[in-house]
A and B are shown apart, each in its own frame.
Chain A
Amino acid sequence: GIQVEQSPPDLILQEGANSTLRCNFSDSVNNLQWFHQNPWGQLINLFYIPSGTKQNGRLSATTVATERYSLLYISSSQTTDSGVYFCAVASRSGGSNYKLTFGKGTLLTVNP
């Protein structure tokens, strides 16, 4: 099946710093989502971005489908950005089932 690798596994920032999280995947995809998992375990949808670029406030994401990677940018980080960020993809070869395969996540800690 499709492989998803996220980097870095851990990231520690000072409040106000910018960061880039990366997601590499091994096959063409028809779905790519970025999530933020809060301390209570809830997965918050950040972006649905199988290709192209999107922005939402201080967050933006870019997926280069032909090169099989996606980037999540966090600017002017705040302590509330702390948590685990997951990339999840559904492979085109998986048909119309849109089953998501998750990476292992990036644990982000933003210190005040």
Chain B
Amino acid sequence: DGGITQSPKYLFRKEGQNVTLSCEQNLNHDAMYWYRQDPGQGLRLIYYSQIVNDFQKGDIAEGYSVSREKKESFPLTVTSAQKNPTAFYLCASRSGTGLNEQYFGPGTRLTVT
């Protein structure tokens, strides 16, 4: 099946630990995005990448890091510097060949205690 997968669905960590969230797509899309959603809120952009080996900060990049070594993969690391890491994290991708529609993965719910 073509689509975007995120793993794990639920993730629990202790404060002070870094944690990496996985995002993989087999849609052959060029661009990938990471968003964060807090309860009762819309999504906010953390990082995005338009091509392999290139990425840019979004609106709330502090305390996060990413890499884009392969077209299919765009992992997000939530570092211990992120003050309020507990949230729902969603990954998205876009074709990039003149098609602007973004498609989303199922999300990872991160809880840090």
Contacts and interface: CB of A to CB of B under 8 A. Distances in A.
B48 A97 contact: yes
A97 B54 CA distance: 12
Given A42-B104, A45-B101, A48-B100, A99 B48 contact: yes
B43 A41 contact: no
A33 B50 contact: no
B53 interface: no
Determine the interface band of chain A, counting residues with CB < 8 A from chain B. Answer: 20 to 34
Contacts of A88: 42-43, 102
B104 A43 contact: yes
B101 A86 contact: no
B85 interface: no
B35 to A, nearest CB: 8
Nearest to B37: A41
Interface of A: 1, 4, 30-31, 33, 35, 40-43, 45, 48, 50, 86, 88, 90, 96-105
Nearest to A31: B100
Interface in B3-61: 31, 33, 35, 37, 40-45, 48, 50, 56, 58-59
Interface residues of B, number: 27
Given A41-B88, A41-B107, A97-B48, A1 B102 contact: no
Contacts of A90: 100
Interface in B39-98: 40-45, 48, 50, 56, 58-59, 88, 90, 92, 94
Nearest to B42: A102
Contacts of A98: 31, 94, 100, 102
Given A30-B100, A33-B101, A97-B50, A86 B42 contact: yes
Contacts of A102: 35, 42-44
Contacts of B45: 99-101
B15 to A, nearest CB: 23
A72 to B, nearest CB: 15
Given A41-B106, A97-B56, A104 B100 contact: no
Contact of B42 (A31, A97, A104): A104
